[in-house]
Chains A and B, each alone.
Chain A
Amino acid sequence: GQQVMQIPQYQHVQEGEDFTTYCNSSTTLSNIQWYKQRPGGHPVFLIQLVKSGEVKKQKRLTFQFGEAKKNSSLHITATQTTDVGTYFCAPDKGSGGSNYKLTFGKGTLLTVNP
């Protein structure tokens, strides 16, 4: 089956520092989604990347999809306490169809020291 590794598992930073989480797949992906889950909350969709080498930005968040479409990263510039939460990647091989199911990486828990 599809092997996906998300690293690091945990990351603690001082407010103002940058943060990056990586999602690495053993197989080529059709697309990848990223979600954020605040403590005690539910996963919330952030973005989807589809094209090889794609880079998308949302304010201080930068999302990248590797050229080979096997890797992706989420980078946060100058973290704030509101960035605290678990960030999940949800890679998709692109089988599509009626048996489509979205699987999630194990997530990276980000904590920010004010």
Chain B
Amino acid sequence: DTAVSQTPKYLVTQMGNDKSIKCEQNLGHDTMYWYKQDSKKFLKIMFSYNNKELIINETVPNRFSPKSPDKAHLNLHINSLELGDSAVYFCASSAWTATNSPLHFGNGTRLTVT
């Protein structure tokens, strides 16, 4: 009964390939996020969706395209992968977008681009 689940856990691929990461939450939350954590452990927000609507799009290359088919799912598709995309990608959800709603993170997807 995992709250926020991402797949796959590990993803190793070559430069130029296209890959997707899936995320699902069963908490009934309205808001979902994608965060990128680099090798120095810095957590940086990429996207946020509220009830399937994109509300935050940080300075992220166009090669990254999130898709939210419903409020329980937020997938991340990455085109033309580059070496610099190697990182751990975390999906998260929160009950709402207000300032006092804790984030619940998935277990992360470790992406390695060779």
Contact = CB atoms under 8 A, between A and B. Distances in A.
Pair from one complex: yes
A76 to B, nearest CB: 19
Given A42-B90, A42-B106, A94-B99, A86 B45 contact: no
Interface residues of A, number: 30
A97 B97 contact: yes
Nearest to A30: B99
Given A42-B106, A43-B105, A86 B41 contact: yes
Contact of B100 (A50, A103, A104, A109): A50
Interface centre among A30, A98, A102 (most CB of B within 10 A): A102
Interface string B72-114: 0000000000000000001000100111101111111000000
Interface residues on B, range: 20 to 34
A35 B63 CA distance: 30
Contacts, number: 64
B55 A99 contact: yes
Interface centre among B58, B98, B106 (most CB of A within 10 A): B98
Contacts of A102: 45, 94, 103
Interface in A84-114: 86, 88, 90, 92, 94-104, 106-107, 109
B100 A45 contact: no
A104 B90 contact: no
Interface of A: 30-31, 33, 35, 37, 41-45, 48, 50, 86, 88, 90, 92, 94-104, 106-107, 109
Interface of B: 33, 40-45, 48, 50, 55-56, 58, 90, 94, 97-100, 102-108
